[in-house]
């Protein structure tokens, strides 16, 4: 499936937030509560709370951070 280029920023934000939140909530849930039988339920609760926050932060912050990186690296 291909998306128009005008949706690149939105698609990046969705994919990056899904990737990061999935891993981070999984690791943090595991470290804090272990891999007990209800791990997936606890992970899912952490995920659906964290994902909208991460998505919003990435959508708003990624362009500014890319500009900052551009100024910090040598050309």
State the pLDDT at residue 75.
74
State yes or no: pLDDT of 7 exceeds 90. Answer: yes
Domain boundaries, the chain: 10-72
Please tell me the pTM assigned to this model.
Answer: 0.84
Q: What's the burial of 16, exposed, middle or buried (CB within 10 Å: 0-12/13-18/19+)?
A: middle
pLDDT at 24: 97
The arithmetic mean of pLDDT across residues 52-73, rounded, is 94
pLDDT for res 58: 96
Q: What is the pLDDT of residue 53?
A: 97
Q: What is the mean pLDDT of residues 19-29?
A: 97
């Amino acid at each position: 499936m291909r998306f128009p280029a005008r949706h690149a920023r939105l698609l990046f934000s969705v994919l990056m937030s899904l990737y990061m939140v999935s891993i981070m909530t999984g690791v943090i849930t595991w470290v804090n509560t272990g891999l007990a039988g209800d791990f997936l339920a606890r992970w899912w609760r952490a995920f659906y709370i964290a994902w909208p926050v991460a998505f919003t932060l990435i959508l708003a912050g990624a362009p500014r951070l890319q500009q900052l990186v551009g100024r910090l690296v040598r050309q």
